[in-house]
Each structure stands twice: as structure tokens, then as C-alpha cells.
Amino acid sequence: MSEAPAILSVRNVSKHFGGVQALNRVSFDVHPGEVVALAGDNGAGKSTVIKAISGVFRYEDGDVLLDGKRVAFASPQEARDNGIETIYQDLALADNLSIGANIFLGREPVKKLFGFLPVIDRKAMDDAAKATMEKLDFHVSRLKAPVAAFSGGQRQAVAIGRAIYWNARLVIMDEPTAALGVPEQLKVIALIQSLKAQGKGVIFISHNLRDIFEVADRIVVFRRGENAGERKPNETTGDEIVRLMVGK
């Protein structure tokens, strides 16, 4: 069976910050239903490349192709509008609001009261939240509760649910299991596998090699802003990935 065309192709992308070369001609692909892990030490270029993809800043050289067409997003919102959702470690959730309110943040559905008075349709938000979270096998009874009341893994589920509701085709996750206990880490791994089963492309950044080997289809290693190697988890070891990361 032939491999589906890549959702995303990064081709020879470079980025400078003043005299520092943060990225030097890096390349990788992400296909539907595939988890690509980016591995590398601090400062290796992992966060820089996802910010270049997702419109946080412009890359200088090379190409980012979405469905084979070159893109250079001017903002993260433009990337979201084109189906790329980035979930950072801090999740960017409004702690005092419910799941539904977080999913629709800034894009709330409106209904007409008495036929003319526009008001936020909270039932539509709650219904969408329930259906979306069930897609992730996350069955929540406290739809009205503020997300501050949820655990770390549950909050990750809310952030992922928001991406799914707005039909993201590529989900970028930056250190999603950091600062979580083992049960919560396992929940996040299950959520990533759920995204994969739905045919989403996933870019997964982590310092945790165990999580990388658990979830990734391919591991792309970065070192000093460059590609240091690419491996399939079943064809390599943690020791080899570390050697590629440090250059020994």
C-alpha cells in the first residue's frame, strides 16, 4: 500500500536570530495518521522549527509545504485557520472557564433571544464539548466546572479537544507530558494515539525518550539547529538517539 501524501513537508528551512543560526536547512515530513517525534537537546532547534511552521515568526530560507503548497503564515491564527493547531506546555487555557468556553474561546456561537437579542449559546457549547471529549474517550460529567478543577492530563485533553473541534489536521504538541505524573503521562499518550487513529498528523516534542518510543512512528533528531538523523523506533535504541543528539 502506498503512503498517503504528506500533510506537511519542511524543506531546507533556515532561521537566524541576529548572528545566531537557530535552524540550518532542516527537513522532515508528516503524513496523515503519523506521529513524528522531534528529539534534541535544549537549543537544538525543535521549538524554533514549530514556531516557524505555526506562524509565530517567519522563516528565512527553504519551504514549508501544506498539502504540497508553500505556506508562510503571518500569525498562529492564520495557521489555525489552515488546520494547524499548536499545543504548548502551558496549554493557553482560561482556567476560570468551562471546557466548552475554552473550546470556543473568541469564537463563541450566538443565538437570538426573543428573535432579535444576540446571546452566547451555552447549550451548543456544552453539547459540542461533550461530543468532542467523547471522541477522545474522555467522558466528563462536570461540563460546567472551570478547567482549573481538572488534572494535568484532563487539561491536556481539553486543549486537544479544542484542536479536534476546529478540525485541525496537524497537531503540534510541545512537551505535553512534562510535569505530569505517570498515570497522567499515560493518559496523554492515549490521547495522542486517538489523534493518530483519527488520521491527524502529530508533531510530538519531548525530552522523555520513553514517551517518544511509545508514541512515535518516526524520530527526527535535531542537533545545533540541523538534522542529525531520522530513525524508526523499532529500528533504533535510546542510546543511539542520545548519540545523535549529542554528536558522539
> Could you report how far apart the first and last alpha carbons of the chain are, in Å?
37
pLDDT of residue 113: 85
- Distance between CA 35 and CA 246 in Å, rounded? 23
Phi-psi sector, 65: left (phi>0), alpha (psi -120 to 50), beta: beta
Is 204:216 a contact under the CB 8 Å cutoff? Answer: yes
Alpha-helix residue ranges (DSSP H) falling in 54-98: 76-81
pLDDT score of 51: 94
pLDDT in tens, 101-119: 999 988 888 988 888 888 9
Position 182 scores a pLDDT of 82
Weakly modelled stretches of the chain, pLDDT under 50: 1-2
pLDDT score, position 148: 92
Report the interhelical angle of 182-197 vs 152-165 (nearest 10°). Answer: 20
Distance between CA 26 and CA 44 in Å, rounded?
Answer: 11
For residues 146 and 98, the answer to whether their CB atoms sit within 8 Å is yes
Instruction: Find cell 499515560 and name the residue.
Output: 186
Say which CATH topology domain 8-246 has.
Rossmann fold (3.40.50)
Encode pLDDT of 48-97 as tens digits. Answer: 999 999 999 999 999 999 999 999 999 998 999 999 999 887 777 899 99
64: helix, coil or strand? strand
